[in-house]
A and B are shown apart, each in its own frame.
Chain A
Amino acid sequence: MKAIRFTGLILFLFSLSLFLASFFMGSYTLTHEIFSSIVKPEHQEMLRNSYEFDRPYASGITFVNHLKKGIDEINVTARAEQRWGDIIYDDYVSTLTRASATGAVTENELLFFMLIYVVGTMGALMFILPQAKLAGPPGIRHNHIFHNALNNRGWLGMLSGTLLVVFYILLYFFPAYITNWIIIVNPVQKLLNPSASSGQWFLYGFLYTFAVIVMGFRMLVKYRHSRYQVFRTISVMFFQLAFAFVIPELLVRLNQPYFDFKNMWPLDYDFFDAWHINMLTQSGGLGIFMFAWGITLFVIGVPVFVYFFGKRWYCSWVCGCGGLAETAGDPFRQLSDKSTEAWQIERLLIHGVLVFGVIMTILVLYNFFGEDFYFAVNKWTVLAFPAIIGAGLFFFHRKKFPYMKGGKVRNVIVGIVGFFTLGAAFSEVSVFAKYMPVDGNNFNFSSGNIRTMYGFMIGSMFSGVIGTGFYPFMGNRVWCRFGCPLAAYLGLVQRFKSKFRITTNGGQCISCGNCSTYCEMGIDVRAYAQRGQNIIRSSCVGCGVCSAVCPRGVLNLENQNEYGRFNQPISLGNVNKII
């Protein structure tokens, strides 16, 4: 058994290394044919002189840099001379790189796919499954989590966090560099839809699903004694595989719009984008159904289901972000911050994002139905605004936090200000100019620009780079806890109108702290349990892990009569208690 695990680990590490190595493989040659078949005629003249043709590049990085430089130079000049029509927005860099790639990876897509993903899966499963026998009888096995370099922010945690962040930045902003990775998953793309070829988002969807499934098996082995955990894990694995990955691809194959039936606004922030509405409404019956379905889901589905089951029906049974958090993220759940300050920051941020998302959508819809609006504001005024609000909030609430001497709340305000300052700095860098629309010293506000900014700041940076990249630093629900506008909406319903609660069993709590430690949402469950109070928190995703790890059987997730849900804090046992 131990030998199987060891072999599995070796195989997995081999696949991982090959995956990383493939980044550097191959050579790139831009030919005239490739150039003219990809670049639009009106751009060919401008670009032709910037590029060297028929020169083989050994390094993908240099190749991409050269392509990028050519386009950037043209755009910079065009901007400076205010020739707006001449700016190139097309992502030629990715498509040209993809077409110019030659070498081992390009010629052996399938082989690389097998060696990385098939062997990798085998290795991972060989490592994971024997635990069912080796780790002893079924039960909670959290031994050495806080002694472990991966699980407790040791060097392995730091390394994997950094790799994840780098991966996300490349994926979102510089996909041309990861052309080889995109090529390697092409065989799966062809399998699902022979007429397509894989792109950056296919790679992402594939890796995501891969992680959920493989780590889902880990979860199934780990919690094989708890049917709640088993069913829930199977559910997220199913929804990720079928609804998020396979069905949308098949829809495209059948010439229908790409659609994830379980995703919804406001998490799915492009649902109300003009192109999206048009795509759905112009795709016949199914498209219209999709549009109606998407709206029904958040208008009726959310309140009704949350009323009966709590927000867990979505967050820890269906959602893709939740699915990743509950499977690949499980080794990091103990890293969430349980302090009251973290809770305050959480409420500030998550509801802030909800408000931002709603305003953004209203503007986008306003634009869709009516005319666009436009105004420009001095960059520094925009940056000062959150700083003033932040400082004001802190000033008026300072009595509330006498114990926060220079604590995190202040840090957060500094953080917000810093974020915007960085935003301004970024906006000076040409790559980011398309996400942070500035013109001289002004921010140009139009619904389109605000939508782009939302996509950049919330969609890419928050939910992706920080949301997943920070698993090994801040726990597996960073996005769900601090940023997801849908979670905020579900949470509001859960808090005010729902049958769901976590019940505390009389006076049995021994304040050990397992529940709080393993709550991925950073809820201080013990604070309620030791007082005999039900846990009703908008952020609780109902993962049920607090109940599973409690060594005294104190906690139970229940949907019951709303009456008496907010019980008085009474831990049973003492007849003559005066408080």
Chain B
Amino acid sequence: MQHIVIIGNGIAGITAARNIRKLSDDSITVISGETDYFFSRTALMYIYMGHMEYRHTKPYEDWFWEKNRIELKRAWVSSVDFDFKKVIFSKGGDLAYDKLILATGSQSNKFGWPGQSLNGVQGLYSYQDLELMEKNTRNISRAVIVGGGLIGIEMAEMLHSRNIPVTYLIREKCFWGGILPVEEAKLIDRHILEHHIDLRVEVELKEIIDDGNGRVKAIKTKNGDTIECQFVGLTVGVHPNVDLVKDSPVESDRGILVNEYLQTNYPDVYAIGDCAQMRNHLPHRRAIEAVWYVGRMMGETVAGTITGTQTKYQPGIWFNSAKFFDIEYQTYGTVPNQLRDNENHFYWECEDKKKCIKIVFNKETNIVSGINLFGIRNRHEVWSKWLGEGKTLDYVVKNLETANFDPEFFKRYESDIQAQYNQQFPDKPISIRKKGFLEKLLT
């Protein structure tokens, strides 16, 4: 029986622990300094907004760990002695392991702005960040958020729920411009404005100004504007947390480097989740993918290897989802923000300007490589199959109905989409879906 030590009780570390337990009788210890129990980081915003309390974000009841003989230890690890195979705690003491899994997650980026360490300036990643934000945003009259990404818009929504006016600075031309094509990004921009967020695109932060007591009182932008505020949210991305392997025999680049078995260069040491960087990533994936699902899948995979079944990390098609205020977003496959030479796209936007889909396909073969959906839900399973089988644009548009995952009675847009397709691509027309009896009655 080996002792497996996992640093990090996020989705990656916890999935690894649960799967190792299913596959073996090894003794398992999960260490984290953040919280006693695994909670869903993705739900932090809902705690602040009062949709849930912390206890609701714990995916397993507290008895689960003891019942499954997964030892939980609340402590910060200050370093790892890789040669003697033990982790050393910041408060003293150590713990020996046979195999070590690093699942230390990410840390918020800070780009060395003057004043970035003032009180009232923070990122949002950990539970402690949330507590801090609760304190920092009490009785304030304006907040500034810097960085047009997923956490930035969540922070905007959080502050908005407390009626705190928000100025939102984005370096790019539109929201999440590094990922989203411009049509979709514009759609979200409009929605952000609809929620009375003071959105300012192509504006960069220059410095944060001290009020004399070590607290922020305003910020300056590179355009020379000064915006008074008592809170600054820095949400300019995250980077892998590699603190524990810096200056150690375990190799790292931006993340902790791992092979396709999620092994580091050092025997018996593995890295998974946000903190890991693939040495050779698959063509349709990236080397570092800081999303929930990757943490889960890596956790599932590493459990195999550790318990004796060498298992390659082989993620299927890329998928992701998010919600921007009220607009849900799902994506399957790859939809780049700028089309590549051999690519074309088909874009449909609903009259209400709140729903759209974008399908990217190969100009020559018509084979579809990915879809973005806003305000419409689609089935993961169907898209996984279509993209795997290399379906063409006409096939996909014709069969869109099969992929629809919207609740019953919701308005359906397949016929509109198909009609537009026929207009745009008259050489390969498809038949248009007929509305059902009930549907006609209701619309």
Min distance, Cβ B317 to any Cβ of chain A, angstroms: 8
- Is the beta-carbon distance between A556 and B405 smaller than 8 angstroms? yes
The verdict on A226 contacting B49 (CB below 8 Å), with A136-B195, A573-B315 known, is: no
Name B314's contact: one of A225, A340, A508, A576 (CB within 8 Å): A576
Supposing A511-B42, A552-B323, A574-B314 touch, asked if A505 and B379 sit within 8 A by C-beta, the answer is yes
Contact B407–A572 (Cβ < 8 Å):
no
- Asked if B410 contacts A227 (CB within 8 A), the reply is yes
Contact (Cβ within 8 A) A574 B300 = yes
Known interface pairs A503-B405, A556-B407; 8 further A-B residue pairs with C-beta atoms within 8 A, sorted by A's residue number: A140-B326, A144-B161, A511-B292, A551-B328, A553-B321, A558-B408, A576-B313, A577-B297
Asked if B407 and A547 make an inter-chain contact with CB atoms under 8 angstroms apart, the answer reads yes
B293 at the interface (CB under 8 A from A): yes
Which of chain B's residues have a CB closer than 8 A to the CB of A558?
408
Please measure, in the bound complex, the distance between the C-alpha atom of A147 and the C-alpha atom of B52, giving whole angstroms: 9
Which chain B residues (338-367) contact chain A, with CB distance < 8 Å? Answer: none
Q: Which residues of A contact B19 (CB under 8 A)?
A: 579
B interface residues with partner A (beta carbon < 8 Å): 11, 19, 22-23, 40, 42-43, 46, 49-53, 56-59, 61, 63-64, 66-67, 161, 191, 194-195, 292-293, 296-297, 300-301, 303-304, 309, 311-316, 319, 321-323, 325-326, 328, 330, 377, 379-381, 384, 405-411, 442
Q: Name A's interface SS.
A: loop
Q: Is the CB of B319 within 8 A of A573?
A: yes
A526 to B40, CA, bound (A): 11
**Contact call B53/A573, Cβ cutoff below 8 A:** no
Q: Tell me if A414 counts as interface (CB < 8 A to partner B).
A: no
CB neighbours (8 Å) of A426 from chain B are none
Is A275 on the interface with B (CB-CB < 8 A)? no
Chain A residue numbers with a CB within 8 Å of B407 are: 226-228, 544, 547-548, 556-557
From 505 to 525 in chain A, residues with beta carbon under 8 angstroms from any chain B beta carbon are: 505-508, 510-514, 516-517
Give the complex CA separation of A113 and B379 in angstroms.
53
Take A142-B50, A403-B63, A573-B319 as given contacts and tell me if A557 and B57 are in contact as well, using a CB distance cutoff of 8 Å.
Answer: no
Given contacts A556-B377, A574-B300, A578-B304, is CB(A551)–CB(B323) below 8 Å? yes
Known: A547-B407, A578-B311. A507 touches B319 (CB 8 A): yes
- A575 touching B314, Cβ below 8 Å: yes
Task: Contact check, B405 vs A505: say whether CB atoms are below 8 A apart.
Answer: yes
CA–CA, A517 to B377, complex, Å? 22
Which chain B residues border A527 with CB–CB below 8 Å?
A: 59
CA distance A549 to B300 in the complex (A): 28
Which residues of chain B are near A148, meaning CB under 8 Å? 50
The answer to the question of A146 belonging to the interface, with a C-beta cut-off of 8 Å to chain B, is: yes
Given the interface pairs A553-B321, A576-B312, the reply to whether A514 lies near B300 with Cβ below 8 Å is no
**Cβ contact within 8 Å between A510 and B292:** yes
The one of A225, A231, A511, A517 in contact with B326, judged by C-beta atoms closer than 8 angstroms, is A225
**When the two chains form their complex, are residues A403 and B66 in contact, meaning their CB atoms are under 8 A apart?**
yes
Cβ-neighbour of A573 out of B42, B46, B51, B293 (below 8 A): B293
Closest 10 CB pairs between A and B?
Answer: A506-B380, A139-B326, A403-B63, A553-B377, A144-B50, A512-B43, A227-B409, A574-B297, A551-B323, A576-B314
Residues 299 to 357 of chain A near chain B (Cβ within 8 Å)? 339-340
Could you write out 23 A-B pairs with CB less than 8 Å apart? A139-B325, A142-B50, A144-B50, A144-B161, A227-B407, A228-B409, A403-B66, A511-B11, A512-B46, A513-B59, A514-B52, A516-B56, A517-B52, A527-B59, A548-B407, A552-B330, A553-B321, A553-B328, A553-B377, A571-B296, A575-B316, A579-B300, A579-B303
Shortest B45–chain A CB gap in Å is: 9
Asked whether B297 lies within 8 Å of A573 as measured between CB atoms, the reply is yes
Q: How far is the CB of B381 from chain A (nearest CB, A)?
A: 5
Output the least CB separation between A125 and chain B (Å): 24
Q: Is the CB of A137 within 8 A of B194?
A: yes
CA distance A20 to B381 in the complex (A): 57
In the assembled complex, which residues on chain B have CB atoms less than 8 Å from the CB atom of A139?
325-326
Whole-angstrom CA separation of A118 from B321 in the bound complex? 47
Size of the chain A interface, CB-CB below 8 angstroms: 55
Q: From known contacts A144-B161, A340-B61, A403-B63, infer whether A506 and B319 are also in contact, taking CB-CB under 8 Å.
A: yes
**Pairwise interchain contact B50-A574, C-beta atoms closer than 8 A:** no
Please state if A574 and B59 are interface contacts (CB–CB under 8 Å).
no
Output the least CB separation between B62 and chain A (Å).
Answer: 9
Residues of B with C-beta under 8 A to A553:
321, 328, 330, 377, 405
Residue of B nearest to A139 (CB): B326
Known: A143-B161, A403-B67. A572 touches B40 (CB 8 A): no
Complex formed: what's the CA distance from A144 to B163 in Å?
Answer: 12
Q: Could you tell me if A510 and B377 are in contact, using CB atoms closer than 8 angstroms?
A: no
Contacts of A145 in B (CB 8 A): 50-51
**A226 CA to B58 CA in the complex, in Å?**
28
Q: Min CB distance, B384 to chain A, in Å?
A: 6
Tell me how far the C-beta of B441 lies from the nearest C-beta in chain A, rounded to whole angstroms. 12
Most B Cβ at <10 Å: residue of A136, A137, A551: A551
State A228–B315 Cα separation when bound (angstroms). 35
Which residue on B lies nearest to A570, using beta carbons? B381
State whether the Cβ of A530 lies closer than 8 Å to any Cβ in chain B.
Answer: yes
A386 at the interface (CB under 8 A from B): no
List which A148-199 residues lie within 8 A (CB) of chain B: 148
Give the CA-CA distance A339 to B247 in the complex, in Å.
Answer: 45
Closest CB-CB distance, A343 to chain B, in whole Å?
11
Check A144/B49 contact, CB under 8 A, given A506-B381, A552-B321. yes
Q: Would you call A284 an interface residue if the criterion is a C-beta within 8 Å of the partner chain's C-beta atoms?
A: no
- Decide if A402 is an interface residue (CB 8 Å cutoff): yes
Taking CB atoms, residues of chain B closer than 8 Å to A547 are 407
**How long is the Cα–Cα vector from A507 to B57 in the complex, in angstroms?**
18
Q: Is A103 an interface residue (CB 8 A)?
A: no
Nearest CB to that of A518 among chain B residues? B51
CB nearest neighbor in A for B64 = A403
| B-chain residues with CB within 8 Å of residue A571 when the two chains form the complex | 296
Are A511 and B59 in touch, CB under 8 angstroms?
Answer: yes
Contact call B408/A557, Cβ cutoff below 8 A: yes
CB of B41, distance to nearest CB on chain A (Å): 9
Contact with B along A117-150 (1 / 0, CB 8 A): 0000000000000000000111110111111100
Give the residue among B56, B303, B379 with the most A Cβ atoms within 10 A: B56
Complex contacts, B23 vs chain A, CB 8 Å: 578-579
Tell whether, in the assembled complex, residue A506 and residue B379 are in contact, meaning their CB atoms are under 8 Å apart: yes
**Which B residues are in CB contact (< 8 Å) with A231?**
409
Q: Min CB distance, A509 to chain B, in Å?
A: 9
> Within the assembled complex, what's the spacing in Å between the Cα atoms of A155 and B411?
42
Chain A residues, Cβ within 8 Å of B309: 578
Q: Are A572 and B380 in contact (CB under 8 A)?
A: yes
Residues of B within 8 A of A136 (CB): 194-195
A402 partner residues in chain B, CB cutoff 8 A:
67
Cα(A502)–Cα(B59), bound, Å: 19
Chain A residues near B53 (CB, 8 Å)? 146
Chain B residues, CB < 8 A from A404? 63
Cβ A507 vs Cβ B409 within 8 A: no
Residues of A within 8 A of B326 (CB): 137-140, 225
A572 and B320 CA atoms in complex are apart in Å by 12
B311 / chain A contacts, CB cutoff of 8 Å: 576, 578
Residues in chain A near residue B315, CB distance under 8 A? 573-575
Q: Which residues of B contact A573 (CB under 8 A)?
A: 293, 296-297, 315-316, 319, 380
- Least Cβ distance of B413 to chain A in Å? 14
Residues of A within 8 A of B59 (CB): 511, 513, 526-527, 530
Most buried by B among A231, A506, A517: A506
Residues of A with C-beta under 8 A to B377: 505, 553, 556
**Closest chain A residue, CB of each to CB of B49:** A143
- Determine how close the nearest CB of chain A comes to the CB of B391; give it in whole angstroms: 17
Given A144-B50, A227-B409, A576:B42 Cβ within 8 A: no
- Please give, as numbers and ranges, the residues of chain A lying within 8 Å of B323 by CB-CB distance: 551-552
Docked CA distance A506–B380 (Å): 5
> Considering the chains assembled together, what is the distance between the CA atoms of A363 and B246 in angstroms?
78
Find the A residue at minimum CB distance from B407.
A228
* CB-CB nearest in chain B for A571: B296
Q: A577 touching B301 by the CB < 8 A rule?
A: yes
